[in-house]
Amino acid sequence: MERRRAAQDLLPHLILWGGIAIVAFPIYMTFVASSLTQEDILAGMPLLPGPHLVANYREALFRGVVATSGISVLRMLWNSLVMALIIAVGKIFISLLSAYAVVFFRFPLRMTVFWMIFVTLMLPVEVRIVPTYQVVAELGMIDSMAGLTIPLIASATATLLFRQFFLTIPDELVEAAKIDGAGPLRFLVDTVVPLSRTNLAALFVILFIYGWNQFLWPLLITNSPKMTTIVIGLTQMIGLGEGRTDWDIVMATTLLAMLPPALIVLLMQRWFVKGLVESEK
Amino acid sequence: MGEVTLRAVRKSYGATEVVHGVSCDIADGELVVIVGPSGCGKSTLLRMVAGLEEITAGEILIGGKVVNAVEPKDRDIAMVFQNYALYPHMTVRDNMAYGLKIRRLARAEVEARVRRAAGILQIEALLDRKPRQLSGGQRQRVAMGRAIVRDPQVFLFDEPLSNLDAQLRVQMRVEIRRLQQSLGTTSIYVTHDQVEAMTLADRLIVMRGGVAEQIGPPLLLYERPATVFVAAFIGSPAMNLLPAVASEDAVVLAGGARLPLPADRAGLAADRPVTLGIRPEHLVAGDGPATIEVRVELAEMLGADTILHGRLGDGSLLQARLPGAERAQPGERMRLAVDPRQLHVFDRESGKRI
């Protein structure tokens, strides 16, 4: 019996390990490349890490390269982090409030408002990029963190999700709070937000990564090297045409760029697993 | 102090009126049960008292003050909901204390009140648990605790026992009654269960289609139901309602049986169509001044009682609750007698008691 179970377990394990290998191999190769010199890489990639790991990362983090006008990767990481955090927190804040209004309040044109929010889902940044650019330019927000983040915050992504979740909160709970004397804001803070914490964690992860990976909008809106985000910086490092590309530094930067989203996922995963285990009702 | 007065209270949703003017005076410390089938407007009425529904017309007074325009939190009421409506992310202690914290009571006072309520309800050991770690009965207690700590003028119960199993329901029913009597707080209790209503109430409001059919003490409603609906709703097994025609001093059933009325009830217009009501427990085997013959269809032997299902000559059904010692075989003919004073006569058209 025991042996049969072991044999049955083998195949799923093989498939899983195969999957992991396929996903992890390019990341491993990036890691290997980031520990070599430019010459080693161009001479043909070995499969084992070399001795230049620390030197490459130090150079990427603190010195920067010619292609990025000498802006260090550390600075780019910081820009990206601030941008992604503002976008994620801003989107959650706006969506939470708008979904709360749409679900728990009765006001004229309530459903019209909801559908207007909903329709913006169908207009991603790329579609409305020209008018948005003009608005931001006329407001004088080009090349500022506000110009970078505000247009990306104003969208409906999370409103719909929050609305669906709020609809599952029983009416009796709302009424109990009314009788207890909790006003609308108090109910939001004391009851709705704590009950939504699993949704908040999941959305934060998704929106942070969404913000972190933004490319087109930052490319348009930022001009000065000081505002460069990591994703933009990375593409600048890869020289086009006759430009020289320091592949060792590029690879180190790539891994550094992956690190914050990966950390966010790891940290938040513990949160929403906890939330799922403790799920209410 | 905690009187509640309803004055011709009406509720409409758009053009549809669901409560058609209910009036009632509830004395301080009284427990009034609103009972009726689903959709009769009983919950709507309670929610209007709570302030969760707007009052379309009429007035509601709590403690002598008109509260039509007063927010629920300022009405000095506490409500126990059908699904308990406990805050799932708060401990039992926080659930009970929440309303007091919002009212900015001193921390020590809040703790003392929670302790006292927990003591009364015997849930001290549960104070640090979350609602999901509690059984249905325990949640029910916490929900009541949340009402008690507020020390309100009026308790409102919205079918609080309907999510519990039968045994627990009986136990909690007794407890609610005992608690209400010891606290002496005016209470309005909504249920669709007539047994619950009968056992709990000082007074009953029987509702049907948005109208209060009859308001009165449970036994009065049992003995002198004002309408056919109340007669059928109160009592189990339900009252037998038979089509009949009144003559001067008797009623004649469709099947031909003639049942004399007591002297003080005689004098009905002859040939008036009526509905005759006979409670199953008022029928006895044998002959008497008023006797009906039935053909036995089924006898349910319950030990203490035998519920007899019989059919009259004209095919209408009759149930009788006889002592457990009575034996009857299906197909057998049987004579059942009833004391004429226990006959209920209702007008066939209006359903009103005559």
For residues A44 and A279, the model is more confident at: A44
Judged by CB atoms closer than 8 Å, whether chains meet at A172 and B85 is answered as yes
Contact B78 A179 (CB under 8 A): yes
Q: Which of B210, B233, B256 is the last residue of a domain?
A: B233
Share of chain B above pLDDT 90, in %: 73
Last residue of a domain, one of B183, B210, B233: B233
**Cβ count near A30 (within 10 Å):** 15
Cβ-in-10-Å burial (0-12, 13-18, 19+) of B4 comes to: buried
Chain B: residue nearest A281 by CA? B132
Q: Any idea which of A57-71, B167-181, B277-291 has the lowest mean pLDDT?
A: A57-71
Question: Is the separation of the CB atoms in B25 and B3 below 8 Å?
Answer: yes
Q: In this complex, which of A175, A180, A195 lies closest to B88 when CB atoms are compared?
A: A195
DSSP line for A135-156: HHHHTT-TTSHHHHHHHHHSS-
Count of structural domains within chain A: 1
Indicate whether B85 belongs to any domain.
yes
Question: Does the ipTM surpass 0.85?
Answer: no
Whole-angstrom Cα distance, residue B190 to residue B176?
Answer: 13
- What are the beta bridge partners of residue B308? B299, B320
B327: in domain:
yes
Name residue A181's amino acid. G
- Do B31 and B60 belong to one domain? yes
Given an 8 Å threshold on Cβ–Cβ distance, is B132 in contact with A280?
yes
In a domain, B49, yes or no: yes
User: Residue for token digits 């008023």?
Assistant: B290
Kindly list the distances between the CA atom of residue A46 and the CA atoms of A230, A251, B100, B111, in Å, as whole numbers in the listed order. 27, 15, 70, 69
Task: Tell me: pLDDT of A281 over 50.
Answer: no
Task: Please report which helix (H) or strand (E) contains residue A252, including its range.
Answer: helix A247-277
- Of the candidate ranges A56-70, A165-179, B193-207, the one whose mean pLDDT is the lowest: A56-70
Q: Tell me if A239 is assigned to some domain.
A: yes
Closest CA relative to residue B224, chosen from B213, B212, B210: B213
Model confidence over B222-257: pLDDT tens digits?
Answer: 999 999 999 999 988 999 999 998 887 888 888 788
Question: Does the CB of A186 have a partner CB in chain B at under 8 Å?
Answer: yes
Q: Give A12-51 pLDDT, tens digit per residue.
A: 999 999 999 999 999 999 999 988 888 888 887 788 888 8
Check CB contact of A276 with chain B, cutoff 8 Å.
no
What are the tens digits of pLDDT across the range B91-149? Answer: 999 999 999 999 999 999 999 999 999 999 999 999 999 999 999 999 999 999 999 99
Task: Tell whether B72 lies on the interface with A, counting CB pairs under 8 A.
Answer: yes
| Type of residue found at B42 | K
Q: Residue A24 falls within a domain, yes or no?
A: no
Q: Is the same domain home to B54 and B32? A: yes
Per-residue HEC secondary structure of B165-203 comes to: CHHHHHHHHHHHHHHHHHHCCEEEEEECCHHHHHHHCCE
For residue A179, the chain B residues in CB contact (below 8 A) are 50-52, 72-73, 77-79, 99
**Does some domain include residue B353?**
no
The CATH number assigned to the domain holding B261 equals: 2.40.50.140
pLDDT of res. A153: 87
Closest CB from A170, A179, A195 relative to B89: A195
Report the residue of chain A nearest B47, measured CA to CA: A175
The answer to whether residue B73 neighbours chain A at the CB level (below 8 Å) is yes
User: For residue B102, which residues of chain A lie inside 8 Å, CB to CB?
Assistant: 180-182, 186
Q: Is B352 within the bounds of a domain?
A: no
Residue A4 has pLDDT above 80, yes or no: no
B87 at interface of A, judged by CB pairs closer than 8 A = yes
Q: B82 — contact with chain A (CB < 8 Å)?
A: yes
- Could you please report the per-residue DSSP string of A16-74? HHHHHHHHHHHHHHHHHHTTS-HHHHHT---SS--S-HHHHHHIIIII--GGGTT--HH
Contact (Cβ atoms closer than 8 angstroms) between residue B334 and residue B285: yes
Check whether residue B229 and residue B246 sit in a common domain: no
Residues 6 or more apart in contact with residue B276 via CB below 8 angstroms: B241, B242, B243, B244, B251, B253, B259, B343, B344, B345, B346
Interchain contact, B89 vs A182, CB within 8 Å? no
Residues B164 and B295 placed together within one structural domain of the fold: no
Name which of B88, B98, B132 is nearest A180 (Cβ-Cβ). B98
> Which tops the pLDDT comparison, A4 or B301?
B301
Task: Determine contact: A19 vs chain B, CB below 8 A.
Answer: no
User: For residue B322, what pLDDT is reported?
Assistant: 92
What pairs with residue B346 in β-bridges? Answer: B275, B353
User: Which residues in chain B touch residue A104, judged by CB atoms under 8 angstroms apart?
Assistant: none
Cβ atoms of A44 and A239 within 8 Å: the answer is no
Does B97 share its domain with B168? yes
CATH number at residue B184: 3.40.50.300
Asked if the Cβ–Cβ distance from B73 to A180 is below 8 Å, we say yes
Query: Is A17 a member of any domain?
Result: no
Give the C-alpha separation, B204 to B218, whole Å: 6
The tokens 């820009």 sit on which residue?
A79
Residues B168 and B257 in one domain: no
Q: How confident is the model at residue A67 (pLDDT cuts 50, 70, 90)?
A: low
Evaluated on CA atoms A222, A225, A231, A236, the torsion sign reads positive
Distance from CA of B71 to the nearest CA of A (A): 8
How much is the average pLDDT of A4-8? Answer: 71
CB B120 within 8 A of CB B153: no
Residue B165 included in any domain: yes
Would you call A280 and B89 a contact, using CB atoms and an 8 Å cutoff? yes
3-state secondary structure of B346: strand
Which of A173, A181, A182 is facing B85, going by the closest CB pair?
A: A173
By the 10 Å C-beta count (0-12 exposed, 13-18 middle, 19+ buried), B82 is classed as middle
Please give the mean pLDDT across all residues of chain B: 91
Q: Which residues of A touch B83 (CB under 8 A)?
A: 170, 172
> What is the token pair recorded at A173?
């709970």
The mean-pLDDT minimum among A180-194, A262-276, B204-218, B330-344 falls in A262-276
Comparing CB atoms, the residue among B79, B83, B87 nearest residue A191 is B87
Q: Evaluate if residue B219 carries a pLDDT over 90.
A: yes
CA–CA gap between residue A42 and residue A33 (Å, rounded): 10
Could you give the number of structural domains in chain B?
Answer: 2
- pLDDT tens for A204-231 read 888 999 999 999 999 988 888 888 899 9
Q: Which of B289, B293, B285 lies closest to B328, judged by CA? A: B285
DSSP letters for B227-252: BHHHHHHSSSSPPEEEEEEE-SSEEE
Q: Is B13 helix (H, G, I), strand (E, B) or coil?
A: strand
Taking only the tens place, the pLDDT of each residue in B145-155 is: 999 999 999 99
Contact call for residues B232 and B214 (beta carbons, < 8 A): no
Rounded distance between C-alpha atoms, residue B252 and residue A210, angstroms? 84
- Over residues A147-160, mean pLDDT: 84
Instruction: Please check whether residue A104 lies inside any domain of the structure.
Output: yes
Q: Is residue B78 less than 8 Å (CB to CB) from chain A?
A: yes
Distance CA B243, CA B228 (A): 12
Residue B333 sits in which domain range? 240-347
Among the residue ranges A52-56, B58-62, B197-201, B215-219, the one predicted with the least confidence is A52-56
Task: For an interface test with A, give the residue of B89, B140, B157 to mutate (most A CBs within 10 A).
Answer: B89
Domain that holds residue A119: 34-277
The pLDDT assigned to B21 comes to 93
Closest chain B residue to A277, measured at CA: B132
What is the end-to-end Cα distance of chain B in Å, rounded? 38
As a whole number, mean pLDDT of residues A183-187 equals: 93
One domain for residues B193 and B319? no
User: Which chain A residues touch B71 with a CB distance below 8 Å?
Assistant: 178
Q: Is there a single domain that holds both residue B78 and residue B148?
A: yes
**Interface-testing mutation among A168, A171, A174, A179, with chain B (most B C-beta atoms within 10 A):** A179
In-domain check, residue A247: yes
Determine whether the interchain pair A179/B98 forms a contact, defined as Cβ–Cβ distance below 8 Å: no
- Residue A44's CATH number: 1.10.3720.10
What pTM was estimated for this model as a whole? 0.81
Q: State whether B218 and B296 are in the same domain.
A: no
Predicted pLDDT at A240: 63
Instruction: Give the gap in angstroms from C-alpha B28 to the nearest C-alpha of chain A.
Output: 21
Q: How many CB pairs under 8 A join A and B?
A: 60
For residue B307, give the nearest of B288, B335, B328 by alpha carbon: B328
The mean pLDDT value for B276-298 works out to: 91
Asked whether residue B203 falls in the same domain as residue B323, the answer is no
3-class secondary structure, B163: coil
Distance from CA of B257 to the nearest CA of A (A): 54
